[in-house]
Structure 1
Amino acid sequence: MSDRMSMNQVIHAAVRRDVSRTERALRALPAGDVVRARQVRTAWRNLVRELTHHHEAEDTIAWPFLASRGFDAALLGEMEAEHVAMKQALVASSAAIDAVVAAPTEAAATAAADEVARASDVINDHLAHEEADVEGIMGELEDDPEWKKAAGRMRPASIVDAANALAWMQDGAGERERSSLRATIPGPVVTILTLLLARRYRREVAPVWR
Structure 2
Amino acid sequence: MRTTDRQEAPVPTPKSFSSEHGLDSLPPHFHGFALMHIAMRRDAARLRAAAPAWKGSGAEWWQRFREVVEWHHISEDDVLWPGLRRRDADFDAQARELHEDHEELDAAMAAVSTAIDRRGEDLVRAAATFEGVLRDHLRDEERIVFPVFDRLGERAYLAEERKLISSAPMRVMTYLQPWMFDGAGSRSVAYVSETIPPPVRLIGATLLKRRYERTLKGILK
CA RMSD of aligned residues (A): 2.5
Correspondence 1:148 to 2:173: no
Q: Structure 2 matches for 1:16-35, cutoff 5 A?
A: 16-29=41-54
**How far is the alpha carbon of 1:144 from its aligned partner?**
4.2
Q: Indicate which of 94, 107, 116 corresponds to 1:97.
A: 116
Q: Deviations over 1:94-131 (max 9, x none)?
A: 1111111xxx5xxx2xx112111111111110100111
Q: Percent identity?
A: 26
Q: Which runs of 5+ in 2 are unaligned?
A: 1-24
Name the structure with the higher helix share. 1
Look up the match of 1:81. Answer: 100
Matches of 2:218 and 2:165, distance apart in 1: 25
Give the deviation of 1:3 after TM superposition: 7.4
Distance in 2 (CA, whole Å) between partners of 1:2 and 1:59 is 23
Residues 1:42 and 2:53 aligned together: no
Q: State the TM-score, normalized to the length of structure 2.
A: 0.75
Match of residue 190 from structure 2: 182
Count of aligned pairs between the two proteins: 191
Contact 1:160 1:198 in 2 (8 A): no
Q: Any idea what SS the aligned residue of 1:25 has?
A: helix
Q: Deviation of residue 92 (structure 1)?
A: 1.2
Q: Higher mean Cα deviation, 180-189 or 6-15?
A: 180-189
Pairing of 1:123-162 with structure 2 (within 5 A): 123-145=134-156, 147-156=157-166, 157=168, 161-162=172-173
Q: Residues 181-208 of structure 1: CA distance to partner in whole angstroms, max 9, x if unpaired?
A: 2212239664542212345323323453
Aligned partner of 2:35 in structure 1 is 10
Computing the radius of gyration from Cα coordinates, the structure with the larger value is 2
> Equivalent residue for 2:212?
201
> Residue type of the partner of 1:74?
A
* Residue-by-residue CA offset, 1:133-167 (whole Å, 9 max, x unaligned): 2112123324344x433321211546774342111
Structure-1 separation of matches of 2:152 and 2:135: 24
Give the Å deviation of 1:44: 1.1
Structure 1 residues 119 and 159: alpha-carbon distance in aligned structure 2, compared to 1, 3 A threshold = closer
